[in-house]
Amino acid sequence: MTTSRHRIRIIAAAALLAAAPITFAACGGGESSSSGGGTGVEAVEQGTVGAVSVQQAHDQLEKGTAVMVDVREPAELAESAVPGTIDIPLGQLESRASEIPTGTPVLVFCRSGNRSQEGAAILAAKGYEASTVEGGILAWQEAGLPTT
């Protein structure tokens, strides 16, 4: 898939997230519906889900107006990480959400933007104002933003 096509899909997914309450099914099953009651995570029931660019994420992180949660696995973090993030693998996010400050917007970050959508939905269901960082670490590095 070309980079442009991938970005269009991410933008379309973000638009869908912002447009209406939806349910995300966990990997490989469950129902999706806008009426709730499914087996997935309700994306907009309690909190909100949005999307921000890597530059917006960087600016908010620098200003301290948001926290950023990286949902990648430890092996991925060892390759490159963004300074100042809270690192919680997606599979542990539900049980470790209490490690994330409340009352501050949360930017959810991954490799390319796919897992961050699920992570933002998990956090929104818990009442966080959560946004995905479009394009993840790949877009972050492409923009020349700092990594360790």
Helix (H, G, I), strand (E, B) or coil at 127: coil
* Residue 64 within a domain: yes
The pLDDT, as a whole number, for residue 54 is: 97
On whether residue 117 sits in a domain, the answer given is yes
Domain presence at residue 97: yes
Contact 139, 19 (CB under 8 A): no
For the question of residue 27 being annotated catalytic, the response is no
Which residue, 128, 132, 131, 133, is CA-closest to 145? 133
- Per-residue confidence at 48, pLDDT binned at 50, 70, 90? low
64 is written with which tokens? 């301290």
Domain that holds residue 27: 3-142
Q: Which of the residues 110, 125, 133, 137 is marked catalytic?
A: 110
Please report whether residue 122 resides in a domain: yes
Q: Is 42 helix (H, G, I), strand (E, B) or coil?
A: strand
The encoded tokens of residue 133 equal 């960082």
Degrees, nearest 5: CA angle 70-72-76: 120
- Describe the chain by its helix, strand, coil percentages, rounded to 5: 40, 15, 40
Q: Is the overall model pTM greater than 0.85, yes or no?
A: no
Per-residue pLDDT at 128? 95
The predicted-structure confidence for 110-146, as pLDDT tens digits, reads as follows 999 889 999 999 999 999 999 999 999 999 999 999 9
Q: 132 CB contacts (<8 Å, ≥6 apart)? A: 14, 17, 49, 50, 51, 52, 107, 108, 109, 113, 116, 117, 119, 120
148 domain-assigned: no
Strand order of the β-sheet with 48-52 is 48-52, 129-133, 106-109, 67-70, 86-87
Number of domains in the chain: 1
Please check whether residue 13 lies inside any domain of the structure: yes
Residue of 60, 84, 80 lying closest to 141 (CA atoms):
80
Model confidence at 35: pLDDT above 80:
no
Query: Is residue 147 assigned to a domain?
Result: no
The Cα–Cα gap between 106 and 128 comes to 7
* Per-residue pLDDT, 106: 97
The enclosing domain of 100 has a CATH number of: 3.40.250.10
